[in-house]
A and B are shown apart, each in its own frame.
Chain A
């Protein structure tokens, strides 16, 4: 179906190398420092690929942890080593940006289960010398956060000045604040939720099934068998990508316009611009992402239900929290709607937390948190400014 566009130059070996020896910083934990997983397994040895920007101050009080979303990685503000595209949050993180790397020390790790240098299904299993594949244990958001805490211990950061993340990144932010409240001075959970909804689990299941339906998936053993389930993964991405946008945004960008033609071809070619766009999204995703990682990380999101760990009472997850929160949602986000953010705010209020909440008007859907959105930038900048003052960090140089 997406045959034509799949001729993109792509060497699976490149990505495999990235999983074990990433073009980023990497910390390797030996057998003596296992990552204890919720599944009841000690993962050791394991490694975390990460990037840092800016300088940690003498007091070690200006660190900001950035948590990436499902298909993101540690390359938040530098050229991506595989795609050669700008970092995924360069508009937000950098010198003079809202998360100002001239003032803050920014750390962004690749998540456990990812494929860009942190141990995941694409990494080499030391026992077999082959990629883990489906032998990799199922992981949770809690596991991801636990690994990040080990990274911060390694970096000598006892307490974060702030942390930010959208979508699955926001889930990590919330989990951090529940698991390690004393280590987080301020937090920005953006376009996220304390639990994945049935609808979102449903979308993920469609994505996973399309990967598994690809005959090249081979029950996750595609590395060993020299195949690659690129069609399945591309279709999964196409489906998910629709959920990141909105009806209005799709209409604004593409309408019913034809692609490179004036009339329909009466075939199943990509007649419409929106089809061509989605196919491109699918194909370029396959280039940089591992199909098994997609399965594991969507699963981790599905399992996320923060209140469930606190007798079903979300407020108890944040009881007496000292963290300053800024919760942000977008009006056209139907994947993580404003009502999800409101539930977080209610729980925080009930726990007496210091919380700000803003809903930003936009037609850009869930993806708005990654895009040029001046109101988002102003809010993040102002919130961090206030937090920096309270933390006693020096004022911005003008």
Chain B
């Protein structure tokens, strides 16, 4: 079976989010971007931490997709509407505009085809919310520059051969992808190593250097929208 995140089997998405660090802050930043009562699809929802947070604080109608069976079982046992599935293959089955928000919380870098996943996200949801670890952070740059090896930090603890994260990008790279797929950034937040939001009016290059994580609220730029991807049936 293909994998959303190439975890060792016993690792749920949420554990990975925690491993990536600042889970609560990251999720709170996502939750801040969601309007109350909205219909939300959380792709890679782990053990349902974000869906629960959204249900409790935003009264959303939440749904989730999760690759790991353990994560799904935990979610369903909590009464969350979560299905076992793979972002890379299963998003194609969802109709256009089915949700107000589609969330990729620490999931995009673990997909095989981030561009296609992002395009599906913008097709299925009126808004997309993406959070990911910023590979342009100064500490990561320094490790490659001085150590000459793939970086490992508290937030990205995996060795290269076991990492679920197969498509790293920097905030700068992500902005470029958004441009390519015709997405508008409505809101952007960069969180530093302590989970604090960086100053809003700081220039992009400082976000890319100092932000450990980026959280973005996206919407389609209708005029330049790429030909929509349709379900393959």
Contact = CB atoms under 8 A, between A and B. Distances in A.
A126 interface: no
B69 A359 contact: yes
A349 B72 contact: no
Contacts of A327: 83
B186 interface: no
Nearest to A338: B84
A120 B162 CA distance: 60
B79 A389 contact: yes
Nearest to A324: B81
Contact of A356 (B61, B80, B93): B80
A295 interface: no
A360 B85 CA distance: 14
- Interface core residue of A326, A357, A361, A375 (most chain B CB under 10 Å): A357
A381 B76 CA distance: 9
Given A350-B95, A357-B72, A358-B72, A378 B77 contact: yes
Interface string B124-168: 000000000000000000000000000000000000000000000
A342 to B, nearest CB: 8
Contact of B77 (A324, A361, A379, A387): A379
A77 to B, nearest CB: 22
A386 B69 CA distance: 19
Interface residues of A, number: 26
A99 to B, nearest CB: 15
A359 B73 CA distance: 8
Given A349-B93, A359-B69, A375-B73, A354 B79 contact: no
A354 B61 contact: yes
Interface in B33-90: 61, 63, 69, 72-73, 75-85
A359 B83 CA distance: 9
A389 B95 CA distance: 29
B83 A385 contact: no
B102 to A, nearest CB: 13
B7 interface: no
Given A350-B95, A375-B73, A378-B73, A356 B78 contact: no
A383 interface: yes
A86 interface: no
A346 B65 CA distance: 12
B174 to A, nearest CB: 28
Given A361-B69, A375-B73, A355 B81 contact: yes
A345 B83 contact: yes
Contacts of A346: 93
Contacts of A350: 93-95
Contacts of B78: 382, 386
Contact of A358 (B61, B63, B73, B98): B73
A379 to B, nearest CB: 5
A352 interface: yes
A8 to B, nearest CB: 41
A352 B39 CA distance: 11
A356 B13 CA distance: 17
A381 B77 CA distance: 7
A309 B82 CA distance: 28
Nearest 10 A-B pairs (CB), nearest first? A386-B79, A382-B77, A357-B83, A356-B76, A378-B77, A354-B81, A379-B76, A358-B76, A356-B81, A346-B93
Interface of B: 61, 63, 69, 72-73, 75-85, 93-95, 98
